[in-house]
Structure 1
Amino acid sequence: MATILIAGCGDLGCLLGETLAQEGHTIYGLRRHTDDLPESIHPIQSDLSHSLPKLPETVDYVFYMASAGKYKDAAYYQAYVLGVKNTLNALGNKNVKRFFFISSTSVFGQSEGELVNEESPTSGKNFSTRRLLEGEHLVRDCGFASTIVRFGGIYGPGRTHLIDLVTQGKAHCMEDVWSNRIHSIDCVGILKHLMELDMTAPQKVDGLYIGVDNQPTLSCEVYDWLAEQLSVPDVEHSEPTENSRMMRSNKRLSNAKIRASGYNFIYPTYQDGYIELLEA
């Protein structure tokens, strides 16, 4: 069994921690406020943007899962750059087997519906993607074996923003714009899968994976399908302008690499995941 540190242990981190604790692993969750942490996660109360307290003597795996509280450069710097530096400093010379950094597919700047995989170029065209890429760079050079997982749009219990917009009649979509998403359960499943693969065959774990489901889908198709399931009026469609095309993410992300590693999706399409949410 392993000792695991989840730095930035929010909702997704708690779900991961509880899942791994059920397997017998020892889990430490680091966050500003620890009152709401599940009992199976040992609390470490700290702010990632400051020097961290002493960490457990043994840390086998680290999952860095911080998020920026605001869409501001300072918040992204604290979450994805300064927080990484402080975590690495606190780890010191510990024998960490692998450092997982949770990033975002927003670092891919493609806007013409291109098919994108792990080899595709990234773009630091705004402060948020620049800070994410800075954090990725720090992790790659940290001296530990490391893996970066870039997740697409995460949905699931507690992440029903799109359902709420459609239900309230506030949703609108642009024609011919691709979207990519992943259920939170599969986010946890991918991270658990990669850690367990590293425990048995570390040479098979690569440095970068895209985390999305099997089905890139036109945004309007998703909105219209949800409206039909919810029995509400159709969602307003609009034609994207040339400027909005350039500003908006529009790409088809491939999950072939994570599937080739042996991971089988619990919710391989958006219909599989959203049907369960709607029924709940």
Structure 2
Amino acid sequence: MSAPSVLIAGCGDIGSRLANRLLPDQWTVFGLRRTVSRLPEGVIGIAGDLFQAQAPVDWPTARIDYLVYCATPTERDEAGYRAAYVQGLQHVLGWLAQHGQRPRRIIFVSSSSVYGQQHGEWVDETSPTDASNYSGKVMLEAEQVALQSGLPASVVRLTGIYGPGRTDLANRVRQGYSVANEPPLYGNRIHADDAAGLLAYLLQADSKGVELDDCYIGVDDAPAPLGEVVAWLREYLGVTEWAENSTLRRSGSKRCSNARAKALGWVPRYATYREGYKAMLG
């Protein structure tokens, strides 16, 4: 039996890492993005724009077993989010229908921004999704597009992705970044490699007949107060000066659980921010 095929729509950083996980197992990987020259070797490029209603001219005619939708907005406002996540997904679903393709499953890459908890509560896939900001609300709308598409679908809510090219926090710590420690502001993280690894794990599980849930949270094993992470980074980076009188506060504080993904058998390579940042900053 031949290995499955997957179309990664919005094949940027996470999508490319996912492709590199699947290609060694002989998966056929299609990558849709504007600039196909930036796709990993072995990925079949589809030059296309998720924001346009017309299907790409080189849309594949072959069977598509899986769709992974992991777009990134070009504009960080409500219209930009809706174009990337809601309308873009609707376009891809329409292109699949035009070509008579019915994937076995859609995996929609979402975000923990759908949760509005702010007091350090533990959050899992069954927790209320009461986002107050536009990003979380639009993500919830897009999740419903996937879940109500008529195709089997799973939503993966990723949290605080970091890794090569995503060094904002480390850079701010070098510049003297401070945060309030009381009450603790809990944050959630996942290394980019583990984000891609979780997506690959779900695809491979489904291809082997494992029954998937309709939602998973992608996070490491140890949500931690932002003050703790900043203090650890200071020590690791040798930062000795910071401005205590300009301590910054950040809205939102929750602890996301990866228990459902781990019950399926997935294990993050970087269990906590310590292992992940050491690998990234090495």
Into which bin does the TM-score normalised by the smaller protein fall? over 0.9
Quote the residue 1:233 is aligned against.
240
Aligned twin of 2:22: 20
- Residue in 2 aligned with 1:61? 66
Provide structure 1 residue ranges, at least 5 long, that are not aligned to the other structure: none
Letter in 2 for 1:7: A
SS for the counterpart of 1:129 is helix
8 Å CA contact 1:227–1:235 kept in 2: the answer is no
Measured on the aligned residues, the alpha-carbon RMSD in Å equals 1.8
CA contact (8 A) 2:178 2:247 kept: no
Please, what TM-score do these two structures have when normalized by structure 2? 0.92
What's the offset of the Cα at 1:52?
2.0
Structure 1's consecutive aligned runs of 4 or more residues displaced over 6 angstroms after TM superposition are 238-241
Does 2:226 align with 1:224?
Answer: no
Letter of the structure 1 residue corresponding to residue 83 of structure 2:
Q
From 155, 169, 174, the equivalent of 2:162 is 155
How has the CA–CA distance of structure 1 residues 224 and 58 changed in structure 2, closer, same or farther, with 3 Å as cutoff?
A: same
- Judged with a 3 Å threshold, the aligned counterparts in structure 2 of structure 1 residues 236 and 106 are, in CA distance, closer, same or farther, namely farther
Q: Structure 1 residues 277, 40: CA separation in 2 closer, same or farther (over 3 Å shift)?
A: same
Deviations, residues 214-266 of structure 1 (Å, cap 9, x unaligned): 0010000000100001111255568999xx77xx1210111111011101110
- 2:47 alignment partner in structure 1: 45
Which of 159, 181, 200 is equivalent to 2:189?
A: 181
User: Which amino acid in structure 2 is aligned with residue 158 of structure 1?
Assistant: G
Return closer, same or farther for 1:238/1:34 CA change in 2, 3 Å cut-off: farther
CA distance 1:234–1:262, change in 2 (3 Å): farther
Aligned partners of 1:81, 1:201: CA distance in 2, in Å? Answer: 29
The code of the aligned residue for 1:226 comes to: L
| Equivalent position SS for 1:35 | helix
Pick from 92, 95, 105: which aligns with 1:90? 95
Percent identical pairs in the alignment equals 39
Q: Give the Cα–Cα distance (whole angstroms) in 1 for the partners of residues 198 and 118 of structure 2.
A: 26
Shift of 1:174: 2.6
| 2-structure distance, mates of 1:35, 1:165 | 32
Q: Which runs of 5+ in 2 are unaligned?
A: none
Contact preservation (8 Å) 2:113, 2:131: no
The match for 1:139 among 139, 146, 149 is: 146
| Partner residue, 1:105 | 112
CA–CA separation in structure 2 for the residues paired with 1:81 and 1:123:
18
1:43-77 CA-partner distances (Å, limit 9, x unpaired): 11111011222333210011100011221111101
Instruction: Provide the rounded CA distance (Å) in 2 between the counterparts of 1:237 and 1:148.
Output: 40
Contact 2:4 2:207 in 1 (8 A): no
Is 1:268 equivalent to 2:268 in the alignment? no
- What secondary structure sits across from 1:18 in the alignment? helix
Amino acid at match of 1:184: A
**Superposition TM-score, scaled by structure 1 size:** 0.93
Which moves more between the two structures, 118-127 or 5-14? 118-127
